[in-house]
Amino acid sequence: MQIQVNTGSQTRGSAGWSSEIKAVIEETLSRSADRITRAEVHLNDENSASKEGGNDNRCQIEVRVAGMQPISVTNHADSHDEALRGAADKMVNLLDTTFGKLESR
């Protein structure tokens, strides 16, 4: 599974932080890793660092499964880490539902 991390202009990014994000995705999606060809993570601060406000950090995860259209989820939270983990959990649930429906056919 190839993992690509994208951050908005208001979001700090470094090689170390990107590695941590990839590790979270690899661990969370490990059950389905053999079916996933690519995962893209998009992290953004929707209000910018200069404004206060809750749930302004957004994480979108798009997963491409072999032979299927891309699947995407979004989560908003107070921090990038919470947004990432929330989106990863949503993706696990969506993949479980999607693969469950395919297997029951």
Three-state secondary structure call for residue 93: helix
Give the type of residue at 101. Answer: K
| Mean pLDDT, rounded, for 64-74 | 95
Q: Which residues pair with 74 in a beta bridge?
A: 60
- Which pLDDT score, from 0 to 100, does residue 34 have? 93
C-beta separation of 80 from 43 below 8 A: yes
pLDDT digits (tens, 9 = 90+) for 44-57: 987 765 556 677 89
Structure tokens at 26: 């690899």
Rounded to an integer, what distance in angstroms lies between the CA atom of residue 73 and that of residue 90? 7
Domain of 49, CATH number, reads 3.30.160.100
The share of the chain scoring above pLDDT 70, in percent, equals: 86
> In terms of residue numbers, what domain contains 39?
2-103
The share of the chain scoring above pLDDT 90, in percent, equals: 63
Rounded to an integer, what distance in angstroms lies between the CA atom of residue 93 and that of residue 71? 12
Three-state secondary structure call for residue 21: helix
C-beta separation of 46 from 74 below 8 A: no
pTM of the model as a whole: 0.86
Is the pLDDT score of 66 beyond 80?
yes
Name the domain count of the chain.
1
pLDDT digits (tens, 9 = 90+) for 14-50: 667 789 999 999 999 999 999 999 999 999 987 765 5
- Which pLDDT score, from 0 to 100, does residue 49 have? 55
